[in-house]
């Protein structure tokens, strides 16, 4: 263990800051500004810490680093175990990156119960980072569930008109999926106790376990449903548009930017490596759902009259790419999937902020209410343009790299998936550009839009980092791809090791990879 | 001096004496004179607590019918905790409702004495005696608000059905006595094990009758009919008290009789309890969803929690056997505190029981709303509250015993239950206040007691190890 338990510090800092805010009085909301600034300061320190984590990260290793391990509940072999590898590192950094932006973007819209808002935002950040860093399944599940409470309040208290419905739907959907995962976790731990004589929820210990096929199937299904709901994978996506639309801007940014990634992260980290045989068997089914999600999400996004709903459905489509990359079970697919998680966090986070800024100004998000903004808010539209292109996947911006890798990985597995998924890229250009055109081009038809103010300095600060990031991740992807490579190799080899007789695949031939399809076909 | 024979019942004696003192104090009190009667009760409970700790690990036996083993003492300490919390939270409520303090505290203490006796009893007759002692006290407590129709109705129902179930219980004892020649649990256990009597239908009948008796007291479906009415009719503090203490005591004897004495017949009683657990979990949560009255909703939720405790009994094994004790302790604190919030927010002529009474509570009573939220989330099994660890423990025991069906129904019903717990949270946080009735502010003592409960809940949720080990060590004495 390091001298300074950096990972614990990263998890604890936002929550500690949140607790410190609580006793400060806020009668009549007089200290609104203080809380906004204080929460932002805490999240910026947190960002700095995550960057420190990145600099201290050894990019050549694929296993967990900076591991912290303390016996917690010895009766069950439960440990307080944290660790970071190339996959979780960037998701932690992404969380650290988006939270201050989300807080900053809320300055204009949250004026009610600001202290509590900041408290829940920071508590949420702690829980999310905990999910990414936990290497003990009990701890993981604890953070996974605990994260629901602050998000529930964020949607329910500070959301829009149908917020209560959306909040309750969000929490019940997620819980319904995750409790079955709880039973699966317990059965795996029980298996560990029969195999070795002691309970363990440690990820590494369970990886080493030889789980029989029948159990793998059930456990994989339980895990996959829990994560698929979170992603959300078609047909489990219906909570998402509600939650996104009703959540306050900051909530949507976090929800789209990070929370959804917890589902795909769970697939990459737990469901696939822990149950490789079942994963290979179910991968084609997941891929089918993912591809349906890509096309369906895009088509539904196209016809949305509400900007926020459009972005929400575009998330369904984009996350379909991520799941497809994971289901391909090869290095390119997984790399693309993880990279696409980061991209989506940056560009969709920024899109939600942009929509939030429009909604702050006009208190409506209907596309028909806008038009011709280019002449009124040129800077805003410039940022909007870059982010839109990044979301579409224009080469040179971040979205391209991820989508390309995913499609490449999918193609190596089964070209049909890649072909259908590629149509999603075209569709995304259709709905995004069409929306962009209707909102920003043409003449100002609605007189209410004539006096709109362009970006304020604060909004500029909230958006600029995402634009910089979109460009940076587009031109220098190796900075991110290289450190995650060893961890991804490890996961891929883990999945390959499970069934060594299938390493030589008929489809790929000379490649040292496993084709999930051939595995699936072998069942 | 009777000497060491009394050792095992010292805690019970402490509580009984305190109860008598309360009654006497009430008798000597002049009208309008203020008297710290609650203090007497607290002193008695403190004495009982200290003596329980001192008795720990000694296995003091009294008169051959009481064995103060760690299992019994663990439950006793939980009961003492419930008692202390009840007494600390009650004064404001009593004053508001105009209830006679001496009688109230006296009855609470007598009930506790009976329950503690039940926890350490090692003889079916003494278990029955203890059951009747606390039941009578609780019947009266239920009907304490004589001017309320609901209260009287609830008490009457409870009494009639309770008396009926006691008869069942007694009948069961008679059968078992007739077959084994003893009412002593150890003797019965030996006889049952030695003669392999599982084939004897009369023994099974006796066992079934015992299940009916216990099932009634722990409000297991289908013996739960009295619960919603009695819980709703009773003064809210009493509801909190009976939904926790009665369950703790009844489950103590339940576990002792079935896990220890009737262990050889496990294959016979497991299916019965399995069905009861399943029905109890499902009905408690499903009907709970339909409730708009918070008190009734918590009543159904208590039924559901009884179902989880039954799962713990069915699934009791080497690893998960302590889950019942841990769950009971956590449930007791949480549920009592939740009911206490309801009681503290009510007024004499305007009970704060309907869901809509909680609209916008956050804006007027932020601290109370936060406390109630913690209690409800803990009941719903959210981390990092203790309810999460408790459920985790029970379900891991179920999985360990191969009872996957129970575990899955258990987790799914917890999700459903989250729905109705969250309805309250929605009301408190996400809606605006209507009307201008002023909800009373709980006293500082009461708030401190609730805050302490929250600390206990968080402590047990984050660092449960000590309590888990303690529970495991305790239950090892019977099973």
d(CA B409, CA B281): 8
Q: Residue B42: what pLDDT? A: 93
Q: Residue B198: what pLDDT? A: 60
Q: Residue B199: what pLDDT? A: 67
Residues of B in contact with A72 (CB under 8 A): 465
pTM: 0.90
d(CA A107, CA A167): 22
Q: Which residues contact B190 (CB under 8 A, 6 or more apart)?
A: none
Q: Is B441 left (phi over 0), alpha (psi -120 to 50) or beta?
A: beta
ipTM: 0.89
d(CA B16, CA B115): 11
Contact A164 B430 (CB under 8 A): yes
Q: Which residues contact A149 (CB under 8 A, 6 or more apart)?
A: A123, B377, B382
Residues of A in contact with B404 (CB under 8 A): 183, 187
**Long-range contacts (CB closer than 8 Å, 24 or more residues apart) made by B152-159:** B152/B233, B153/B229, B153/B233, B154/B229, B154/B230, B154/B231, B154/B232, B154/B233, B154/B234, B155/B230, B155/B233, B155/B234, B157/B225, B157/B226, B157/B229, B157/B230, B158/B226, B158/B229, B158/B230
d(CA A180, CA A190): 15
Tokens for A129, please give them: 């980072």
d(CA B400, CA B319): 8
Contact A157 B430 (CB under 8 A): yes
d(CA A38, CA A22): 12
B381 min Cα distance to partner chain A (Å): 9
Residue A48, CA distances (Å) to A86, A93, A182 in order? 18, 9, 34
Contact B400 A190 (CB under 8 A): yes
Nearest to A186 among B395, B414, B469 (CB): B395
| Chain center to CA of B285 | 18
Residue appearing with tokens 């040292």? A512
Question: Which residues on adjacent β-strands are paired with residue A84?
Answer: A65
Q: Residue A502: what pLDDT? A: 33
Q: Please give the full DSSP string across B169-201, using - where no structure is assigned.
A: HHHHHHHHHHHHS--BHHHHHHHHHHHTGGG-H
Q: Residue B17: what pLDDT? A: 94
DSSP label of A201: -
Contact B384 A76 (CB under 8 A): no
Average pLDDT estimate for B325-345: 92
Contact A171 B418 (CB under 8 A): yes
d(CA B247, CA B306): 8
Nearest to B464 among A73, A145, A163 (CB): A73
d(CA B108, CA B79): 11
φ and ψ at A366, to 5 degrees?
-75, 135
Residues of B in contact with A141 (CB under 8 A): 383
Contact B468 A73 (CB under 8 A): yes
Question: Which residues on adjacent β-strands are paired with residue A306?
Answer: A366
Residues of A in contact with B383 (CB under 8 A): 141-143, 145-146
Biggest CA–CA distance in chain A, Å, is 74
Contact A146 B383 (CB under 8 A): yes
Tokens for B82, please give them: 């419930």
pLDDT in tens, B61-77: 888 889 889 999 999 99
Residue appearing with tokens 């199937």? A217
Q: Residue B452: what pLDDT? A: 94
Count of beta carbons in the 10 Å neighbourhood of residue A48: 11
B473 touches chain A (CB under 8 A): no
Tokens for B440, please give them: 């009373």
Do the beta carbons of residue A180 and residue A225 sit within 8 Å? yes
d(CA A208, CA A253): 37
Do the beta carbons of residue B318 and residue B420 sit within 8 Å? no
Residues of A in contact with B382 (CB under 8 A): 145-146, 148-149
A13 min Cα distance to partner chain B (Å): 17
A183 min Cα distance to partner chain B (Å): 7
Contact A186 B396 (CB under 8 A): yes
Helix ranges (H only) for A371-477 are 373-376, 378-392, 398-413, 415-440, 457-475
Query: Using DSSP, how many helices (H) and how many strands (E) does chain A show?
Result: 23, 2
Residue B1, CA distances (Å) to B15, B48, B62, B432 in order? 20, 20, 14, 66
Nearest to A153 among B429, B468, B469 (CB): B429
Nearest to B430 among A72, A146, A163 (CB): A163
d(CA B11, CA B77): 10
What is the three-class DSSP state of B287? helix
Contact B430 A193 (CB under 8 A): no
Residues of A in contact with B429 (CB under 8 A): 153, 156-157
A197, closest residue in chain B (CA to CA): B319
B377 touches chain A (CB under 8 A): yes
Tokens for B83, please give them: 């008692």
Residues of A in contact with B472 (CB under 8 A): 75
Residues of B in contact with A179 (CB under 8 A): 411-412, 414-415
Average pLDDT estimate for B367-379: 92
Residue B317, CA distances (Å) to A296, B69, B394 in order? 49, 20, 11
B461, closest residue in chain A (CA to CA): A142
φ and ψ at A206, to 5 degrees?
-75, -30
Question: Which residues on adjacent β-strands are paired with residue B60?
Answer: B68
Q: Residue A322: what pLDDT? A: 92
d(CA A453, CA B93): 57
Pairing of strands B60-62, B66-68: antiparallel
End-to-end CA distance of chain B: 34
Residues of A in contact with B419 (CB under 8 A): 168, 172
Residue appearing with tokens 């614990």? A8
Do the beta carbons of residue A200 and residue A74 sit within 8 Å? no
Residue A295, CA distances (Å) to A303, A361, A425, A428, B280 in order? 13, 32, 9, 9, 45
Interface probe for A, chosen from B377, B383, B461 (most Cβ of A below 10 Å), is B383
Number of residues that make up chain A: 523
d(CA B126, CA B452): 35
Q: What is the dihedral of CA B342, B345, B348, B349, to 10 degrees?
A: -90
B63 touches chain A (CB under 8 A): no
The pLDDT profile of chain A, 523 residues, written as one tens digit per residue, is 446 788 889 999 999 998 988 888 777 777 788 888 888 999 999 999 999 999 988 888 888 888 888 888 887 888 898 999 888 999 999 999 999 999 988 887 888 888 888 999 999 999 999 999 999 999 999 999 999 999 999 998 888 888 888 888 888 888 888 888 988 998 888 888 888 888 888 888 888 888 888 888 899 999 999 999 988 888 888 888 888 888 888 888 998 889 999 999 999 999 888 888 888 888 888 899 999 999 999 999 999 988 889 999 999 999 999 999 988 888 888 999 999 999 999 999 999 999 988 888 888 888 888 888 888 888 888 999 999 999 888 888 888 888 889 998 888 888 888 888 888 888 988 899 999 888 888 888 888 878 888 888 888 888 999 999 999 988 888 888 888 888 888 888 888 765 433 333 433 433 444 444 444 333 3
Q: Please give the full DSSP string across B69-137, using - where no structure is assigned.
A: -HHHHHHHHHHHHHHHHHHHHHHHHHHHHT--HHHHHHHHHHHHHHHHHHHHB-BHHHHHHHHHHHHHH
Residue B424 pLDDT greater than 50, yes or no: yes
Interface probe for A, chosen from B377, B399, B455 (most Cβ of A below 10 Å), is B399
End-to-end CA distance of chain A: 43
B274 touches chain A (CB under 8 A): no
Number of residues that make up chain B: 479
Contact A148 B382 (CB under 8 A): yes
pLDDT in tens, A205-224: 888 888 888 888 899 999 99
Q: Please give the full DSSP string across B440-452, using - where no structure is assigned.
A: PPPPHHHHHHHHH
Q: Which residues contact B147 (CB under 8 A, 6 or more apart)?
A: none
Residues of A in contact with B377 (CB under 8 A): 149
Residues of B in contact with A186 (CB under 8 A): 395-396, 399-400, 407
Nearest to B418 among A141, A157, A172 (CB): A172
Angle CA(A58)–CA(A61)–CA(A64) in degrees, nearest 5?
90
A140, closest residue in chain B (CA to CA): B383
B170-208 in b/e burial notation, b at 16+ Cβ within 10 A? bbbbebbbebbebbbbeebbebbeeeebbeeeebbebbb
d(CA A394, CA A400): 5
Q: Is A80 left (phi over 0), alpha (psi -120 to 50) or beta?
A: beta
B377, closest residue in chain A (CA to CA): A149
φ and ψ at A377, to 5 degrees?
-125, 70
Interface probe for A, chosen from B281, B319, B374, B411 (most Cβ of A below 10 Å), is B411
Contact B418 A167 (CB under 8 A): no
Do the beta carbons of residue A222 and residue A184 sit within 8 Å? yes
């Amino acid at each position: 263990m390091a001298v300074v338990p950096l990972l614990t510090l990263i998890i604890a800092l936002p929550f500690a800051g949140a607790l410190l805010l609580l006793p400060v009085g806020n009668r009549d909301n007089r200290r609104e500004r203080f809380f906004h600034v204080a929460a932002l300061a805490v999240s910026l320190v947190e960002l700095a810490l995550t960057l420190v984590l990145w600099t201290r990260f050894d990019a050549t290793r694929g296993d967990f680093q900076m591991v912290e391990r303390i016996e917690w509940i010895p009766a069950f072999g439960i440990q307080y175990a944290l660790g970071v590898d190339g996959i979780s590192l960037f998701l932690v950094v992404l969380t650290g990156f988006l939270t201050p932006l989300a807080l900053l973007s809320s300055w204009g819209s949250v004026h009610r119960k600001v202290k509590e808002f900041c408290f829940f935002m920071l508590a949420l950040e702690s829980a999310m980072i905990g999910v990414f860093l936990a290497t003990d399944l009990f701890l993981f599940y604890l953070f996974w569930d605990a994260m629901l409470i602050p998000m529930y309040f964020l949607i329910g208290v500070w959301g829009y008109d149908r917020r209560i419905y959306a909040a309750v739907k969000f929490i019940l959907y997620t819980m319904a999926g995750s409790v079955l995962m709880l039973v699966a976790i317990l059965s795996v731990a029980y298996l560990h106790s029969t195999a070795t004589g002691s309970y363990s929820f440690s990820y590494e210990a369970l990886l080493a376990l030889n789980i029989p096929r029948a159990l793998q199937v059930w456990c994989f299904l339980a895990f996959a449903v829990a994560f698929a709901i979170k992603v959300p994978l078609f047909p489990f996506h219906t909570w998402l548009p509600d939650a996104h639309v009703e959540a306050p801007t900051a909530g949507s940014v976090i929800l789209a930017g990070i929370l959804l990634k917890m589902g795909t992260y769970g697939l990459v980290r737990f469901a696939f490596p822990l149950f490789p045989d079942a994963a290979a068997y179910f991968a084609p089914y997941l891929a089918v759902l993912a591809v349906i999600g890509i096309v369906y999400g895009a088509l539904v996004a196209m016809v949305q009259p509400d900007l926020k709903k459009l972005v929400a459905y575009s998330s369904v489509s984009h996350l379909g790419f991520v799941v497809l990359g994971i289901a391909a079970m090869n290095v390119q697919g997984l790399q693309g999937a993880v990279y696409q998680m980061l991209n989506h966090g940056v560009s969709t986070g920024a899109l939600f902020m942009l929509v939030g800024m429009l909604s702050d100004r006009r208190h409506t998000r209907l596309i028909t209410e806008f038009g011709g903004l280019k002449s009124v808010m040129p800077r805003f539209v410039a940022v909007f343009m870059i982010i839109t292109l990044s979301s579409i996947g224009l080469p040179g911006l971040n979205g391209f790299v991820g989508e390309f890798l995913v499609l490449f990985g999918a193609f190596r597995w089964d070209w049909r998936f890649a072909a259908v998924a590629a149509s999603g890229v075209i569709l995304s250009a259709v709905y995004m550009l069409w929306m962009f055109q209707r909102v920003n081009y043409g003449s100002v038809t609605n007189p209410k839009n004539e006096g709109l103010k362009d970006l304020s300095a604060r909004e500029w600060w909230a958006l600029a980092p995402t634009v910089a990031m979109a460009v940076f991740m587009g031109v220098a992807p190796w900075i991110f791809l290289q450190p995650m490579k060893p961890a991804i190799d490890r996961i891929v080899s883990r999945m390959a090791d499970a069934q060594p007789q299938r390493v030589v695949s008929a489809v790929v031939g000379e490649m040292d990879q496993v084709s999930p399809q051939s595995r699936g076909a072998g069942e | 001096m009777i000497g060491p024979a009394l050792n095992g019942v010292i805690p019970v004696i402490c509580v009984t004496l305190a109860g008598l003192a309360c009654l006497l104090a009430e008798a000597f009190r002049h009208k309008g004179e203020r008297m710290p009667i609650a203090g007497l009760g607290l002193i008695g409970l403190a004495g009982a607590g200290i003596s329980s700790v001192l008795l720990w690990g000694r296995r003091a036996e009294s008169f051959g019918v009481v064995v103060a083993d760690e299992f019994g003492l663990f439950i006793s300490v939980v009961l003492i905790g419930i008692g202390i919390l009840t007494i600390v939270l009650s004064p404001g409520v009593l004053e508001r409702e105009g209830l006679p303090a001496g009688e109230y505290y006296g009855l609470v203490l007598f009930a506790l004495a009976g329950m503690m006796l039940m926890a350490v009893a090692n003889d079916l007759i003494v278990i029955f005696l203890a059951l009747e002692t606390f039941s009578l006290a609780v019947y009266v407590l239920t009907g304490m608000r004589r001017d309320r129709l609901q209260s009287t109705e609830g008490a009457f129902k409870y009494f009639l059905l309770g008396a009926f179930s006691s008869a069942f219980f007694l009948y069961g004892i008679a059968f078992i006595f007739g077959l084994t020649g003893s009412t002593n649990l150890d003797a019965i256990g030996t006889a049952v094990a030695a003669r392999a009597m599982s084939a004897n239908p009369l023994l099974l009948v006796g066992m079934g009758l015992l299940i009916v008796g216990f099932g009634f007291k722990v409000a297991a479906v289908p013996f739960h009919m009295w619960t919603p009415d009695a819980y709703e009719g009773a003064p809210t503090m009493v509801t909190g008290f009976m939904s926790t203490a009665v369950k703790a005591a009844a489950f103590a004897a339940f576990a002792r009789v079935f896990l220890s004495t009737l262990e050889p017949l496990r294959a016979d009683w497991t299916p019965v309890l399995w069905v009861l657990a399943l029905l109890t979990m499902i009905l408690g949560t499903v009907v709970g969803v339909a409730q708009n009255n918070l008190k009734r909703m918590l009543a159904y939720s208590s039924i559901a929690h009884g179902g989880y405790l039954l799962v713990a009994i069915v699934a009791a094994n080497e690893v998960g056997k302590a889950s019942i004790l841990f769950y009971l302790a956590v449930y007791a604190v949480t549920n009592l505190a939740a009911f206490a919030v309801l009681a503290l927010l009510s007024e004499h002529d305007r009970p704060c029981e309907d869901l809509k009474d909680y609209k916008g509570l956050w804006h007027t009573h932020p601290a109370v709303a936060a406390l109630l939220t913690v209690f409800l989330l803990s009941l719903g099994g959210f981390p990092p509250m203790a309810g999460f660890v408790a459920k985790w423990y029970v379900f891991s025991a179920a999985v360990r015993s191969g009872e996957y069906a129970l575990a899955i129904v258990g987790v799914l019903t917890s999700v459903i239950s989250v729905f109705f717990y969250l309805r309250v949270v929605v009301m408190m946080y996400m809606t605006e206040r209507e009307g201008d009735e002023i909800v009373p502010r709980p006293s500082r003592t009461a708030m401190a007691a609730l805050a302490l409960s929250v600390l206990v809940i968080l402590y047990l949720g984050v660092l449960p190890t000590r309590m888990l080990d303690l529970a495991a060590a305790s239950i090892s004495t019977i099973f």
